[in-house]
Amino acid sequence: MDQRDLQKAVELRHALHAHPELSNHESWTKAHLMDFLRQNTSRLDIVDKGSWFYAAYRAGADRPGVAFRADFDAVPVADELDLPYVSTVPGVGHKCGHDGHSAALAALALEIDREGADKNVFFLFQHAEETGDGAKVCTALFRDERVDEIFGFHNRPGIPLGMVQVLDGTVYCGSEGAILDFRGVPSHASMPELGRNPAYAISDIIQRLPQLQDPGRYRGLVLATIIQVDVGERAFGTQASRGKLLLTIRGEHEEELQRLQDELEALARERAEAYGLGLEIGYCDVFPNTVSHPQSNEKVRAVCRELGIPVREMPGPYRGSEDFGHYTKAIPGAFFEIGSGESCPDLHTVGMDFPDAIIGTAVDIFRGLIGRA
């Protein structure tokens, strides 16, 4: 890619890194990205959609449309790196690399604005990936514009710098946060038989979790992870009467994730009835499984071969979640990974920093995909 565009993209990433914002609070980030595109492009149509936005290069109403997505939210992890662009927000940092995703997409916009394209190209800048809120809203793009295919990438620590990983089918597992809220009856601690304590129901459920997620019962990966157990309060004269069990449940296949959810709910209701408890069940941070379509993935492989970029097949789906799956439920597309280096600290850790070196790699792959869309 053009080295002047690359330098602008690096400076943009550093600015984003220094000003991280959590999901659904990305006002400065969104405004800064829009200003960057306005100041550095002249042919793009920039469309403000509230929490998110997109820029469009229009080659003609009769031309195919291809979209590229970048997320721009940060995570509640402190940035403890000795960098001139270290986070200025205590306890918040770009520790998942979304600053790099956005910088790469902005750089692609600069290249297409200058060189043109024979297709309509949409640069989708998305909020709230970390909570699963963003992509579902942003699928409105497909109603407003003709988009035939969509691509995105994620940086991946632990694999060689610049290497691309692909996988047909499920790339990232679906997941959701389950909240089991039990309501009992308080009593004096000396007379527990007069009350109803949710601790026993919660304990029963926890002991049944290994059975619920037994790998022998499923085709793919299924997990139920305990996040929090909150029963009663520090009051030694009163028996606990309220209790919550928070779990993250996830699955490689959505139908098996749904099966786990159904069985968990049935168990919770059965235990609540057995102990005479009230029960409310809620969910948050809901992510679909992210699927890459084989025909779109084959375009990624072909572009990498042309560019001399090494490609390898992922051994299986990544256990974590990505809300990009909302896009590939609606239209064809692919989500691939670019290596951040074998010594790069893992995602969501204090030492992680997106490597500027792979911005150009992402842009070159995206440009090649425009030619194949």
Mean of pLDDT over the chain: 97
pLDDT at 373 over 80: no
**Are 108 and 215 members of one domain?**
no
**Are 279 and 307 members of one domain?**
no
Q: What residue numbers bound the domain in which 185 lies? A: 174-287
Amino acid at residue number 373: A
**Are 76 and 189 members of one domain?**
no
Average confidence (pLDDT) over 343-368: 97
Q: Residue 187 — very low, low, confident or very high, per pLDDT cuts 50/70/90?
A: very high
Measured between alpha carbons, how far is 321 from 251 in angstroms, rounded to an integer? 10
Average confidence (pLDDT) over 311-324: 96
Looking at 287, 311, 338, which one is the last position of a domain? 287
pTM of this structure = 0.94
**Are 91 and 202 members of one domain?**
no
**Are 83 and 224 members of one domain?**
no
Average confidence (pLDDT) over 18-44: 98
pLDDT more than 70, % of the chain: 100
Q: Residue 239 — very low, low, confident or very high, per pLDDT cuts 50/70/90?
A: very high
State both tokens at 243: 């209790």
**Are 101 and 200 members of one domain?**
no
Rounded to 10 degrees, the C-alpha dihedral 95/101/107/110 comes to -130
**Are 45 and 149 members of one domain?**
yes
Q: CA 169 → CA 125, 164, 185, 195, 253, distances in Å? A: 24, 16, 48, 51, 10
Looking at 236, 260, 287, which one is the last position of a domain? 287
Average confidence (pLDDT) over 228-250: 97
Q: Which of 271, 270, 230, 222 is nearest to 248 (CA)?
A: 222
State the DSSP H helix or E strand holding residue 351, giving kind and residue range, or none if neither.
Answer: none
Q: Residue 1 — very low, low, confident or very high, per pLDDT cuts 50/70/90?
A: confident
Q: Please count the structural domains in the chain.
A: 2
pLDDT at 212 over 80: yes
Q: Which CATH number goes with the domain that contains 65?
A: 3.40.630.10
**Are 125 and 212 members of one domain?**
no
**Are 140 and 120 members of one domain?**
yes
Residues contacting 314, CB < 8 A, separation 6+: 165, 166, 167, 171, 337
